[in-house]
Amino acid sequence: MISKDYPQRVYAGWLGKIIGIRCGAPIEGWTYERIRNVYGELDGYPVSYKNFAADDDSNGPIFFIRSLEDCKSLSNFSSSDVAQALLNYAPFEHGFFWWGGYGISTEHTAYLNLRNGIPAPRSGSIRQNGAATAEQIGGQIFIDPWGLVAPGDPALAAKLAREAASVTHDGNAVYGGIFIACCISLAFVETEIDAILDRALTFIPKDCEYARVVNCVRAFHREHPENWRDCFAYLFENFGYDKYPGNCHIIPNAGAMILSLLYGEKDFDQTLNICNMCGWDTDCNVGNVGCIMGVLTGLEGINFQKWRAPINDFLACSGVVPSLNAMDIPYGASYFARQGYRLKGEELPKEWKAAFPENESLCHFEYPGSTHAIRGRCEGGNYHLRNTDEQARDGRRSLKITACQSPSGRESFFYKQTYYRPADFDDSRYDPSFSPLFYPGDTLHASVRLLPAENGMIPAVSLYAKNGVTGEIFRGSKATEVNCWHDLSLKIPGNQTGYLSEAGIILSGTAGGGASSDLTVYLDRLFFESAPDYRIDFSSAALERWGGLHDEIPQFTRLKGHTYLDGKYLSLSCSDFGELYTGLHTWKDVSASCTIKPLTGEEHFLNVRVQGAMRSYAGGLSAEGMLVLRKNHMGYTTLCKTPFPWEAEKEYALELRAQGNRLTLLVNGKEVLSYTDEKDPFLVGCVGVSVEKGSHCLYRDFQIKALN
């Protein structure tokens, strides 16, 4: 039976993981000596960020775990399911993780193996890739969720971790993945670090090198428990990078993690700081340690202002599904916990029901301290956000928002940022890219409860959304009655050009004599109801320049291919295949339309129901003068086709509709092809464009519209 505090402990573990990654990323690859010379004693984050950009250590966990949901049978879950997730959610050789070259980067090597038909687990095996490549650190850095979904069940965690790690790794790297997943699983039920390590060791071979480094560091700690730096000197001398091949071997880093867990003495701060000061692969090591410690200490052990406030529950990712690249940490925690209950065959507990919404966009605030990345803009004044159990519309908690000493007539904005651009980040680590989370045609919902104001001021709250291109503010009606819940809704007008960049509430007050007052509102159940109706005008757009070689088409993520803006056109070309995606992965019945102009090659398509690189539908122009509908399920197959003598350099107005399991392709307003998919149809997904076999196509007048 899963414990009652399981979801909250998962949230603490996932928070600990993200904290550790952010803590270690600025000094990744630094030596112990360089860290000591620059920082002396580290205590907290070495660097402040506007928003922390994507990182491979969080990309892998949040996307690979989706293989549990995507697989056909949990009882037959295997490495091939995780391999499909890797192929489906990772872009081709950019972003997501380190693409260092075949035989150099372990993940890159395994990815290309899979792409070229070498199945898992052979894709990550020593026999295929050699020990130096197969035993690098990636076997454990992506493994945390497999422990989070198996609370107190290390045997299950070990089984899942073995399947997951063996897609890309082998040998000691797989043992490391098993060991760390077991440590996380055991942290739900054990209270002492030694007990966690003892039990986790029983799941890997006693004579493997990974077990040897764990045992040697533990033995040194028993003899010399006073100074962690002495232990690091021993580790460096006996298990340093010079003892192992490859770019980032797992063994030295495993030793640093064990060292920090022992000398940290169950203190979250001390453990993470020690691990970070050891150097080597800091974001990986501190991320794994942070997850273990988060589960072990719970939220009570994680200082809010020091660790949590700078993150503000926001997580940037760089997968190929655009709407999964700007998520909040409660979403990830609830996703993991839902899979944990599913694996155990248990129902979601009633007391946590509000934390597991059907609508993925919902901000529920059920985890203590959570903010769901809500932000504030309060010109000329201060504001305060605080998660509280004082009031709740649904569940047990809400977000208490106060605009401090707000003058009469001043508006304060509190919002979910619904689109991110390069200016929102300090760098482009692992090449993030985004599409909006909220669109013209959608409806914003929220529950609010005003408190009375002082000085006779009359408080008011309303919903709003902001067009990120024009700056136009869409406003809902004001609620002014205090001490009661208001369930507000705001429908955004459709048929607009431009994306929505913010959605939230406006807090204001009115009073005579220029009075000011603290204005306070409780916010709960903020979410988006999707019915998109919008256009993209490429003629008024500009490439989003992140720096270096990282440029993106606004609102799109790229799987592969060469893209640029050419006047009123979006250009997409390829040597083999190219695809771009935009929109929400949860869209159901939609129509995607645009005017296309094929330039070279013979394969030019619109895509709908895109669930990643390996699952979607496509419709458009094909070889030998054909119009086709195709299905991508780990590779494209043709569903139906009809003769259509199209010509290069001519324009064609295409519309591809997906309604239920039926697809319809229209050309110049006339229905030409239709198909009902009776076998495992894709019923949700975003939209996109694609080309194949060296084709080059131009796209303009892109429009998305929900089908009623």
Rounded to two decimals, the pTM is 0.97
DSSP-H helix ranges across 203-358: 209-223, 228-239, 250-263, 268-277, 282-297, 329-344
> Which pLDDT score is estimated for 562?
97
Say how far apart CA 162 and CA 146 lie, in whole Å. Answer: 10
Instruction: Write down the pLDDT at residue 512.
Output: 64
Between the alpha carbon of residue 237 and those of residues 96, 232, 233, 275, 623, the distances in Å are 33, 8, 6, 17, 63
- Inform me whether the pLDDT recorded for 155 exceeds 80: yes
What are the E-state strand segments in 408-482?
Answer: 412-417, 443-450, 458-467, 473-475
Helices (H), 267-328: 268-277, 282-297
Query: Per-residue confidence at 213, pLDDT binned at 50, 70, 90?
Result: very high
Q: Does domain 556-706 have CATH number 2.60.120.560?
A: yes
Instruction: State yes or no: pLDDT of 117 exceeds 70.
Output: yes
Residue range 444-473: average pLDDT? 94
- Whether the predicted pLDDT of 127 surpasses 90: yes
CATH architecture of 11-316: Orthogonal Bundle (1.10)
Contact 374, 361 (CB under 8 A): no
Which two tokens mark 548?
């270096």
- The pLDDT value recorded for residue 514 is 64
pLDDT of residue 469: 87
What value does the mean pLDDT take over residues 284-309? 98
Q: How far is CA 188 from the centre of its chain?
A: 24
Question: 240 pLDDT exceeds 70?
Answer: yes
Q: Topology of domain 374-531, per CATH?
A: Jelly Rolls (2.60.120)
**Above 90 in pLDDT, residue 313?**
yes
Reported residue count of the chain is 708
CB 138 within 8 A of CB 169: yes
Max Cα–Cα distance, the chain, nearest Å = 81
Average of per-residue pLDDT across 268-291: 98
> Residues 97-115: what's their mean pLDDT?
97
Percentage of the residues of the chain whose pLDDT score is greater than 70? 100
Task: Kindly state the tokens that stand for 513.
Answer: 């004599």
What gap in Å lies between CA 389 and CA 373, rounded to an integer?
A: 18
Amino acid 708: pLDDT: 80
Is residue 111 pLDDT above 90, yes or no? Answer: yes
SS3 category, 413? strand
Handedness of CA 350, 328, 417, 85 (dihedral sign): negative
**In this predicted model, what pLDDT tens digit does every residue of 535-545 receive, in sequence order?**
999 999 999 99
| Closest by Cα among 566, 333, 182 to 174 | 182
| Alpha carbons 327 and 313: distance in angstroms, whole number | 9
Question: Which residue's entry shows tokens 């040998």?
Answer: 171
Cα separation, 394 vs 397, whole angstroms: 8
Gyration radius from the chain CA atoms? 26
Answer yes or no: same fold for 11-316 and 374-531. Answer: no
**Averaged over 67-74, what is the pLDDT?**
93
Structure tokens at 306: 């020091």
Decide if 498 contacts 467 (C-beta within 8 A).
Answer: yes
Q: What mean pLDDT is predicted for residues 262-274? A: 98
Q: Average pLDDT in the 602-617 region?
A: 98
Residues 166-172, mean pLDDT to the nearest whole number: 98
Burial track 197-236 (b if 16+ CB lie within 10 A, e otherwise): bebbbebbeeebbbbbbbebbbebbeeeeeebeebbebbb
pLDDT at 61 > cutoff 90: yes
Mean pLDDT of 376-395: 94
- Say if residue 454's pLDDT is above 90: no
pLDDT of residue 35: 98
Rounded CA separation 190/457 (Å): 53
> Band of the pLDDT at 548, cuts 50, 70, 90?
confident
Pairwise CA distance, residues 105 & 136, whole Å: 9
* pLDDT, the chain, mean: 97
- For 138, 359, 554, the CA distances from 22, given in Å and listed in that order, are 17, 28, 26
> pLDDT tens digits, residue range 480-538?
999 999 999 999 999 999 889 999 999 999 986 568 899 999 999 999 999 999 999 99
Please state the domain extents for the chain: 11-316, 374-531, 556-706
Residues 606-636 as b or e (16 or more Cβ within 10 Å = b): bbbbbbbbbbbbbbbbbeeebbbbbbbeeeb
Asked whether the beta carbons of 58 and 142 are under 8 A apart, the reply is no
